[in-house]
Amino acid sequence: MTRPPLLLFLPALLTVLGVLLPLLYLVLRAVGAEPAELREIVFRTRNLELLWNTLLLTIATLATTTLVALPLAFVTARSDFRGRGLALLLGVLPLALPGYVGAYTWLAATGQGGTLDTLLGLRLPTPGGFWGALGILTLFTFPYLFLNLHAALRQLDPSLEEAARLLGRTPGRVFRQVTLPYLRPAWLAGALLIALHVLGDFSVVSLMRFPTFSAAIYQQYTAAYDRVYSAWLALGLLLLTGGVLWLEARWMRGLRLSRVSPSTARRSQRVPLRRWVWVVWLALILLGTLSLGIPVLTVLHWLKLDHDPYRWANLWDTARMTLGAAALAALTTTALAFPLAYLGSRYGQANRGGRWAQLTERVAYLGYATPPLAFALALIFFTLKVIPGLYQSYALLVAAYALHFTAEAIGPLRSGLLIATPRLEEAARVLGQSALGGLRRVTLPLLRPGLLVSASFVFLSVLKELPLTLLLAPTGFDTLARDIWAYTEEAQYAQAAPAALVLLLSGVLLTRLILSREDHP
């Protein structure tokens, strides 16, 4: 198979244009101001403060999430700890809680009159500033790193460590010189997701009152209505994101960690914890309390204080709109991701068409890597100039969801295409099936688990998505995330509790579904 079918390139081309054209117009909008205005904008001392805050928070979050995720991954993958199932659950479930829900619950739990003060008489200081943002982001982003490190530790060939010990290395040196270098790709993959998340986050830093590029973009566009300055801030955020992607690619260049022997790797022996088992239990209790216990307790406490029947009457309408948009976006995104995954898997290495297949897939990842606020701003500028009728429409919102989250759907589909090898389609054509017939009767049935996981990933992401919804949602359209944000900004914690509970339960159920489908394909 050397020539990709033209029909598959059409949705791929739509994805490329949908991602690149708005970003190109954002650049043109940023540099299109008067020279004097440009000088005043570019050389503001405020920009240096935002740059420093954004970089500091990103680097610090990578450090703290590593300190949480690496020991937890080692305990679950390599130790004889009997509570591995519970530890694994605690390492994954915080993904179900969006960062702004975590920030809201901690603000509502602390200080005078907070949940902890009311129920336990424990008055903790209210989190805020750099340390508050760092703590919240650490608690609710470390699973991205944990999942990658856990998988890598399970796949590590024990013969590598055994060889190092035979050469006289101590266990500590074996871990530093053999295990940690092997974990480098997994760490980079998880760290990239966390860095992109921190760079694009505006909700947590806004609630914690810590100024970063994303928070400034939102404030400039919604409060100051300074579109030129917000475009420049978005451009600066894109440059930071590009730098992160470049560093990740550079650090991965030339890395080869495959085994020399073609034989099947043996499972590593469990490391006995002995007296450290109590330290592990205390750490798990602390982690579970901070990331899940206090948020759930806070939501339930403030839920009892919400006596407004009007809120509960409107909750179903809000949930219905949220679930409907998430379902439509999941179907649209999966439909866009399938041609990209198919082209990348089948034709990515082909002589003709291979470069185009690789390019379209990389552009899809660019859409995901672009911070949501910057992407939303680019879509706003583009539609107002080119297609004004799409501005603040339901179609534009769903399209933004699909273009931003296509990369999330590609991964599970590509994994499924490794099972549905091209030879199966070739055999179907030998038996008289057309190319599309073989694809429909042979490949798609084998891809059903991957399709379900892809759609579930996107569904969960859309449920939690806030920046795109805030800037692009049409008038009268409300979501659970938007509802929580509106009440939390005004410190109306009881009113935000019902939507937070529904979002939390939906996230937990979808996270369990994704894990079960990946464990049992």
- pLDDT tens readout for residues 178-215: 677 777 778 887 888 898 889 888 889 999 999 998 88
The pLDDT of residue 520 is 47
Q: Please, which pLDDT band fits residue 116 given cuts at 50, 70 and 90?
A: very high
The pLDDT of residue 262 is 43
Gap between the Cα atoms of 330 and 352, Å rounded: 31
Query: If 0-12 CB within 10 Å is exposed, 13-18 middle and 19+ buried, where does residue 124 land?
Result: middle
10 Å Cβ neighbour count for 280?
17
In a domain, 331, yes or no: yes
**332: pLDDT strictly greater than 80:** yes
The answer to whether 321 and 508 are in contact (CB under 8 A) is no
The pLDDT of residue 493 is 85
**167: pLDDT strictly greater than 50:** yes
In a domain, 202, yes or no: yes
Residues with Cβ within 8 Å of 274's Cβ and at least 6 positions away in sequence, in order, are none
**102: pLDDT strictly greater than 80:** yes
The pLDDT of residue 263 is 44
Q: Mean per-residue pLDDT for 54-70?
A: 95
**158: pLDDT strictly greater than 70:** no
- Tens digits of residue pLDDT in 377-436: 888 888 988 889 888 899 999 999 999 898 888 877 776 666 555 655 555 555 655 555
Which residue range is the domain that position 440 belongs to? Answer: 1-43+309-521
In a domain, 78, yes or no: yes
In a domain, 266, yes or no: no
Place of tokens 């519970």: 86
**Helix, strand or coil, per DSSP, at residue 262:** coil
The pLDDT of residue 366 is 79
The pLDDT of residue 355 is 64
Residues 339 and 409 both lie in one domain:
yes
- Tens digits of residue pLDDT in 19-32: 888 888 878 877 77
Residues 298 and 319 both lie in one domain:
no
The pLDDT of residue 431 is 60
Of 302, 321, 352, the one marking the end of a domain is 302
10 Å Cβ neighbour count for 87?
25
Residues 325 and 431 both lie in one domain:
yes
**503: pLDDT strictly greater than 80:** yes
Of 251, 281, 302, the one marking the end of a domain is 302
CA distance to 21, 199, 228, per residue, from 378 (Å): 9, 17, 12
Least confident of 18-22, 59-63, 90-94, 444-448: 444-448
Opening angle at CA 377, ends 372 and 382, nearest 5: 125
The pTM score is 0.81
Residues 14 and 79 both lie in one domain:
no
**Helix, strand or coil, per DSSP, at residue 303:** helix
Residues 373 and 425 both lie in one domain:
yes
The answer to whether 496 and 457 are in contact (CB under 8 A) is no
Q: Which two tokens stand for residue 128?
A: 């805020």
**69: pLDDT strictly greater than 90:** yes
Residues 154 and 32 both lie in one domain:
no
Residues with Cβ within 8 Å of 296's Cβ and at least 6 positions away in sequence, in order, are 504
Gap between the Cα atoms of 210 and 57, Å rounded: 10
Residues 205 and 95 both lie in one domain:
yes
Residues 277 and 167 both lie in one domain:
yes
The pLDDT of residue 201 is 87
The pLDDT of residue 491 is 81
Residues with Cβ within 8 Å of 298's Cβ and at least 6 positions away in sequence, in order, are 105, 106, 108, 109, 115, 493
In a domain, 395, yes or no: yes
The total domain count for the chain is 2
In a domain, 13, yes or no: yes
Residues 334 and 468 both lie in one domain:
yes
Residues 280 and 417 both lie in one domain:
no
Residues 376 and 512 both lie in one domain:
yes
- Tens digits of residue pLDDT in 229-251: 777 888 888 888 888 877 776 77
Q: Mean per-residue pLDDT for 478-489?
A: 88
Residues 397 and 459 both lie in one domain:
yes
- Tens digits of residue pLDDT in 259-287: 444 444 556 667 788 888 999 999 999 99
Q: Report the CATH number at residue 97.
A: 1.10.3720.10
**518: pLDDT strictly greater than 70:** no
DSSP state of 175: I
In a domain, 289, yes or no: yes
In a domain, 55, yes or no: no
Query: If 0-12 CB within 10 Å is exposed, 13-18 middle and 19+ buried, where does residue 386 land?
Result: exposed
